[in-house]
Amino acid sequence: MEDIAVVILNYNGRNYLEQFLPTLLSYSKPSRVIVADNKSTDDSVPYLQKVFPEVELILLDENYGYAGGYNEALKQIESKYFLLINSDIEVTPNWIKPMYDLLEANPNIASVQPKILAYHNKDTFEHAGAAGGFLDWLGYPFCRGRVFEEVEKDEGQYDDPVQIFWATGACFLIRSKIFFEAGQFDSDFFAHMEEIDLCWRINALGHEIHYEPKSIVYHVGGGTLAASNPWKTELNFRNGLIMLYKNLPFNQWIYKIPFRITLDLVAALKFLADKKPGHAKAVLKAFFQFIGTIGTTDKKRRNNQPKIGNKQFRHSDKLLIWQHFLKGKKKYSEL
């Protein structure tokens, strides 16, 4: 596994590096371990230089966010595979090899994610990725093991390796050649949904994305941007709309996006009802930001369409909001 570069994008995550980097170094041999620092303002860099001199460091000149930060870092790394992992993840023995073996044995598989469990509740799936991701009919993301905010206990129900639509940005292994061939992350996303957008393009190129349950990691979640932060809501809603406009063919986005915007506005009303005015405002800001990006996004969409056309991918044909909120279905297996 010397042809793997394990890359952590760090921004003010000194405490997580101190907590999780020793185990990661121990369990990742003989892969390279690289920390790309997104212009942290804490003491992450001097700490790494002093305590972990064996770790390769890439120092970025500004905070490019998740998408831009990884783009800037990965173009400086030569390796057959990139293994991207958040700083707030605890790895386990043999966490890399099952994913690596899957890619080595199957040249059509471009990327693979491990089983993502919650660090603070280790028998439960973690929100960001769980047991592999999909999109519903309107492009709302969900996972085996997580539907909206409902997460399941891990009882072995998703211990089968399967093809998925998207792999979580919290931790996934990808062929470097395909990362660049698919166009890297969209740096305009800054953070959130960029991995789904990338996976959409990877699928469009005819490659597969898989989930490997023999690889297990534990994710704290919200290490850089907490779910309580309205900016996270804004990024998720804005980027979700941008992703649909970029990737859906005209005969789908022309009616799906207005439908999606309507439901997003309903979500804003729910935030108000739940006394979360900051999140309601974030949804509205996301809409107006999406409108403001249409010119730029349209150029990207035109570049995508020759590859995507009217292909159908591993989307669910069900409307997740209907299934979850009106029919009361809480688990992936119930959808």
Q: pLDDT tens digits, residue range 40-92?
A: 999 999 999 999 999 999 999 999 999 999 999 999 999 999 999 999 999 99
180-184 average pLDDT score: 95
151-180 average pLDDT score: 97
pLDDT for the residue 315 = 59
Domain limits of the chain?
230-312
Confidence of residue 305 (pLDDT cuts 50, 70, 90): low
Instruction: Decide which of 6 and 308 is more confident.
Output: 6
Confidence of residue 307 (pLDDT cuts 50, 70, 90): low
- Decide: 19 and 220 in contact? Cβ < 8 Å: no
Q: What is the pTM of this model?
A: 0.94
| Of the candidate ranges 48-57, 166-175, 298-307, the one whose mean pLDDT is the lowest | 298-307
200-250 confidence digits (pLDDT tens): 999 989 999 999 999 999 999 875 666 778 999 999 999 999 999 999 888
Instruction: Decide which of 316 and 326 is more confident.
Output: 326
94-151 confidence digits (pLDDT tens): 999 999 999 999 999 999 999 999 999 999 999 999 999 999 999 999 999 999 899 9
**For residue 310, is pLDDT > 50?**
no
Instruction: Decide which of 335 and 40 is more confident.
Output: 40
**For residue 181, is pLDDT > 90?**
yes
